Amino acid sequence: MPFQPASRRARLLSRSPLALALLTLVAPLAQAAGTDPATDPAEPTDLDKVQVVGQRYLPDYAARATRSATRTDTPLLDVPQAITVVTDKLISDQAMTSLSDAFRYMPGIGLAQGEGNRDTPVLRGNSSTADFFVDGIRDDVQYVRDTYNVERIEALKGPNAMVFGRGGSGGVINRVTRQADGQSHRAGSLQVGSGNRRRGTVDVGDAIGEGSAGFRITAMYEDSDSFRDGYTLERHGINPTFGVDLGERTRLRLSYERFHDERVADRGVPSLYGRPVETDPSTFFGNPDASPVEATVDALDAVIEHAFADNLSLRNHLRWADYDKFYQNVFPGAADAATQTVSISAYSNSTTRENLFNQTDLVWETATGGIRHTVLAGAEFGRQVTDNLRMTGYFGAPGSTTTSIRVPLSSPTTSIVPLFRQSATDADNHGVARVAAVYLQDQVEFTPQWQAIIGLRHDDFRVELRNNRTGATLRSDDGLLSPRAGLVYKPVERVSLYASYSMAYQPRAGEQLASLSASNAALDPETFRNRELGAKWDIRPELQASIAVYRLDRGNVAVTDPADATRMILVDGQTTEGVEIGVAGRITENWQLMGGYAYQDGEITTTQSATAVAGNRLAQLPEHSASLWNRYDFNQAFGIGLGIIHRGSIFANVDNTVTLPSFTRFDAALYWTLNPAMQLQLNVENLGNKRYFASAHSNNNISPGTPRSAWVSLNFHF
């Protein structure tokens, strides 16, 4: 079978968010477009069961199918789970360079600060630094990811350990990368603008020989500053891929990525009187010159696919990844109103991790008695070796025990460089985590109206953690049984109603595999149970809408026994309830949009500490949030974009003592096609120059929002 180019029908839409106002807007827009879900026939879906060349370029803001949610090619309409997809078209139209840019358009997903050195989404009230995947394989080290090689970014909401294994307490983020697909790719971009942004990308690929093989290379370089004093960013990445047919029914795909990111760890501003301090947004608290971050990723992927028959296929994915991450920060602590000073502390942390994962999926499509089955049987094996070293910063002469200094709030940027050495409590660990998992799933189509998905996964997850300072070794061994069940009813061809249940576990080693202690190693893992009702509507082939209502419960939270301070007990920890609405696609041939709205209510259900008190609202969880982006093309040469982002007020910490006020921000863009091979693009962020605070890590690490900024991009094909 030749190395075929991706189907044109990959214009098929992908879902995403929408603003609260869109709930009342969708139906009139659909009627205005002359669509009727009961009479307008659905566009057929062309899915090749043998060759999966990754995703392809999408000409709009929507995608119709996903592999990530079920490990099989499944229309989004048939997946009983809330999913938001940000396509490469939206990434390009908004000049997105990081995942945090994409999170703005994913209802139910917020963004925490991550201490200025890592991606930290907040999914349904649960912050995470590890629930990241690349083409379905775990990518869990703490660093800031780029979009240069991304075909699309998928957010799968709610715990779903049946597919992804441990973690994923509120959902997961999966990056689908660009792959060699036998097509000719000759594209690039140059970008300059505010914050001294200078960035270039390239995407080159083609078939080899008669088309049975192909290659593709994506690459990026960026050297930028920021509106923040002393902040710098330099990063580069290259990702060559190669695909070849090994006969009529077998294909091999190879991919290697080298990515390096250097930046300043910017932990924002402290708080005073229950809100962020009043200061110029550019003011850096601490020492930017002594706060470097470096992350290097080397990753190799090999995927082989074989079709035994038209209805039986095997896929094996091997991924080896080596991570080297270091950060050091001199950052603000508590401010003092009486003295008008702020505390400055420091520490450094280095992590190396080597991941080796192998996934095997066997997919069998069959029918019995008029009932169609898509059966998935699979196994995953993995080994992660991690070394972690933390050192405390001391101020003063060598040997000093002073771990903080105070500087004036009026002049909080310091040139003092602390000395770093290990304290008695700093981590110095070597850990090995192993997983062996098997899973079985059946997607059942009883009739054209009724479908179900039932799955079960068992993980044998083992961690051994050695404290290099003391020589002590801790071990944990968990057997994780993860069910998934969903029922889909389609009253008409383009509308689906669903109900689902899923759960996931967080073992005591924690999401970064370094949290084992003598007091918790023997405890059962934390549990996360999600119940969800939803509806999806393909208004027409180019426009989709969705709504989901959910309840997510966190259990087995370890707290100190009030009756015996020497032991830990397990309690119910928190509950999040919410509604998410999303729309993506084309209203008309010239008008595209993507938007979403989320209502979220989350609280601590059992007192866990002096600050995490029952009844407190979850940190960084707005009650209301919404986003809406529009692009309208007047003709083939000129187009405009207009967006609005709203986030309600949030608490910086679970103690609920510091509030980040709500904000509403407007963005805009202009598009000018000079000729078929060249386009100029102007993006303006925060059009009204709104003063706001974007995210937080704690009560005293709060990031100011970006003032009005603009970037010009030259996008070209050759």
- What's residue 663's pLDDT? 98
- The rounded mean pLDDT for the chain is 92
Q: For residue 691, is it within any domain?
A: yes
pLDDT at 52 over 50: no
The residue assigned the tokens 């229950």 is 274
DSSP 66-85: ESTTTSS-EEGGG-SS-EEE
Measured CA to CA, the distance from residue 445 to residue 254 in angstroms comes to 34
Q: For residue 327, is it within any domain?
A: yes
pLDDT at 42 over 80: no
Give the pLDDT band (50/70/90) at residue 566. Answer: confident
The predicted model gives 656-684 an average pLDDT of 97
Query: What tens digit of pLDDT does each residue of 501-531 get?
Result: 999 999 999 999 999 999 999 999 999 999 9
Q: For residue 3, is it within any domain?
A: no
Contact criterion met (CB below 8 Å) for 290 and 330: yes
DSSP 599-664: EEEEEE-S--SSSS-TTPBPTT--SEEEEEEEEEESSSSEEEEEEEEEE--EESSTT---EEPPEE
Query: What tens digit of pLDDT does each residue of 475-503 get?
Result: 999 999 999 999 999 999 999 999 999 99
Q: Backbone phi, then psi, for 485, in 5-degree steps? A: -145, 140
Sorted by sequence, the CB contacts under 8 Å of residue 692 that are 6+ apart come out as 661, 663, 665, 704, 705
pLDDT at 16 over 70: no
The predicted model gives 118-138 an average pLDDT of 97
Dihedral, CA of residue 26, residue 154, residue 7 and residue 54, to nearest 10: 180
Measured CA to CA, the distance from residue 463 to residue 581 in angstroms comes to 39
pLDDT at 50 over 80: no
- What's residue 708's pLDDT? 98
E-strand ranges in 47-134 read: 65-66, 74-75, 83-87, 109-111, 121-123, 126-127, 132-134
pLDDT at 31 over 90: no
Structure tokens at 403: 């771990």
- What's residue 10's pLDDT? 33
- Give, in order, the Cα–Cα distances in Å from 121 to each of 168, 271, 592, 666: 11, 22, 26, 22
pLDDT at 94 over 60: yes
- What's residue 44's pLDDT? 42
The predicted model gives 663-690 an average pLDDT of 97
Count Cα neighbours of 376 within 13 Å in the Cβ-side half-sphere. 27
Q: What type of residue is 251?
A: R
Burial pattern 533-561, b for ≥16 Cβ within 10 A else e, equals ebebbbbbbbbbbbbbebbbbbbbbbeee
DSSP 285-327: -B-GGG-EEEEEEEEEEEEEEEEEETTEEEEEEEEEEEEEEEE
Measured CA to CA, the distance from residue 597 to residue 579 in angstroms comes to 8
The predicted model gives 115-141 an average pLDDT of 97
**Distance in angstroms between the alpha carbons of the first and the last residue of the chain:** 29
Measured CA to CA, the distance from residue 605 to residue 654 in angstroms comes to 12
Query: 324: domain range?
Result: 8-272+281-717
Measured CA to CA, the distance from residue 443 to residue 75 in angstroms comes to 12
Sorted by sequence, the CB contacts under 8 Å of residue 505 that are 6+ apart come out as 161, 166, 167, 459, 478, 480, 482, 525, 526, 527, 528
- What's residue 621's pLDDT? 98
- What's residue 209's pLDDT? 85
Question: What 3-state DSSP class applies to 194?
Answer: helix
The predicted model gives 449-463 an average pLDDT of 98
Give the pLDDT band (50/70/90) at residue 419. Answer: very high
Query: What tens digit of pLDDT does each residue of 688-705 get?
Result: 999 999 999 999 999 999
Q: For residue 408, is it within any domain?
A: yes
The DSSP 8-state label assigned to residue 56 in this structure reads -
Per cent of the chain over pLDDT 90 is 89
The predicted model gives 442-453 an average pLDDT of 97
| Bridge partners (DSSP) listed for residue 680 | 672, 714
- What's residue 563's pLDDT? 87
Domain count, the chain: 1
Query: What tens digit of pLDDT does each residue of 257-275 get?
Result: 999 999 999 999 999 999 9
- What's residue 625's pLDDT? 98
- What's residue 562's pLDDT? 87
Measured CA to CA, the distance from residue 717 to residue 56 in angstroms comes to 17
- What's residue 242's pLDDT? 98
Sheet holding 109-111: strands in order across? 109-111, 121-123, 126-127
Q: For residue 610, is it within any domain?
A: yes
Query: What tens digit of pLDDT does each residue of 531-544 get?
Result: 999 999 999 989 99
Query: What tens digit of pLDDT does each residue of 198-257 get?
Result: 999 999 999 998 889 999 999 999 999 999 999 999 999 999 999 999 999 999 999 999
Query: What tens digit of pLDDT does each residue of 276-290 get?
Result: 999 999 999 999 999
Q: For residue 1, is it within any domain?
A: no
The predicted model gives 95-120 an average pLDDT of 96
**CATH number reported for the structural domain that contains residue 450 in this entry:** 2.40.170.20
Measured CA to CA, the distance from residue 491 to residue 497 in angstroms comes to 8
- What's residue 59's pLDDT? 65
Contact criterion met (CB below 8 Å) for 86 and 152: yes
Closest-CA residue to 201 (of 154, 247, 150, 253): 150
